[in-house]
Amino acid sequence: MFFLILSLVALDPRYHTYQRMMQEIDSLALLHTEIARVETVGVTAVNQLPIIAVKISDNPQMDEDEPALLFVGVHHAEEVLGCEVCIYTIEHLLEGYDNDSLTTRLVDNLELWFIPILNVDGHGIVTSGIDTTWRKNLRDNNDNGIFDPGYDGVDLNRNYGFNWEYGGSNDPSSEYYKGPAPFSESETQVIRDLAQRERFLMAIDFHSARTGQGEVIYYPWRWGANFCIDYPFIRSIADSLAESILNDAGTGCYTAIYGVATEGNFRNWLYATLGTYAYTVEISWGCTPPGYRVDDICQRVLDGLNVFMQRATGPGVTIYVVDSISLLPLEAEVRVQNYYDPSLPPRTSDPVFGVFRKLLTPGVYSFEIMKDGYETTFVGNVNVVDTPVSVIVKMKPQSGVTEERHGRLMQVIPDYSSGVINFVAKVNESGNCTLQVFDSSGRLVTDVTRVSFADDRYVWHVPKNFSNGVYFAVFSKSGRTTCKRFLWLRSP
- Give tens-digit pLDDT for 432-453: 678 888 776 567 788 887 776 6
Residue 71 lies in a domain: yes
**334 and 473: one domain?**
no
| 295 and 166 part of one domain | yes
Residue 401 lies in a domain: no
Which pLDDT value is given to residue 5?
Answer: 40
220 is a domain residue: yes
Domain end residue (candidates: 247, 279, 311) = 311
A 10 A CB-CB count for 252 gives 11
Residues 454 and 377 occupy one common structural domain: no
| 336 in a structural domain | yes
Positions in the chain short of pLDDT 70? 1-9, 400-409, 426-432, 440-442, 452-455, 477-483, 490-492
Q: Are strands 111-115 and 50-56 parallel, antiparallel or unpaired?
A: antiparallel
Residue 210's pLDDT is what?
85
Q: Among residues 345, 367, 395, which one ends one of the domains?
A: 395
Q: Is 400 domain-assigned? A: no
Asked if residue 329 and residue 265 are part of one domain, the reply reads no
Q: Indicate which CATH number applies to the domain containing 335.
A: 2.60.40.1120
Q: How far apart, in Å, do the first and last CA atoms of the chain sit?
A: 69
Give the count of beta carbons closer than 10 Å to the beta carbon of residue 268: 28
DSSP annotation of 466 reads: P
- Pick left, alpha or beta for residue 199 (phi over 0 → left; psi -120 to 50 → alpha; otherwise beta): left
The answer to whether position 402 is within a domain reads: no
The residue range of the domain holding 160 is 2-311
Residue 199's contacts (CB-CB under 8 Å, 6 or more residues apart) are: 68, 274, 276, 350
> What pTM was computed for the model?
0.84
For 485, other C-beta atoms within 10 Å of its C-beta total 16
pLDDT value, residue 479: 57
Residue 144 in domain: yes
Same domain, yes or no: 306 and 337: no
Indicate the DSSP class of residue 223.
E
Q: Are residues 332 and 457 in the same domain?
A: no
The pLDDT assigned to 439 comes to 75
**Domain co-membership, 473 together with 328:** no
What radius of gyration do the chain's Cα atoms show? 25
- Among residues 161, 203, 442, which one has the least CA distance to residue 305? 203
SS3 state at 487: strand
- Structure confidence by residue, pLDDT tens digits, 366-419: 999 999 999 999 999 999 998 889 999 999 998 754 433 434 457 788 887 788
Same domain, 304 and 320: no
**Domain tally, the chain:** 3
In a domain, 134, yes or no: yes
Domain boundary among 263, 289, 311: 311
Region of residue 408 (phi > 0: left; psi between -120 and 50: alpha; otherwise: beta): alpha
Q: Are residues 321 and 223 in the same domain?
A: no
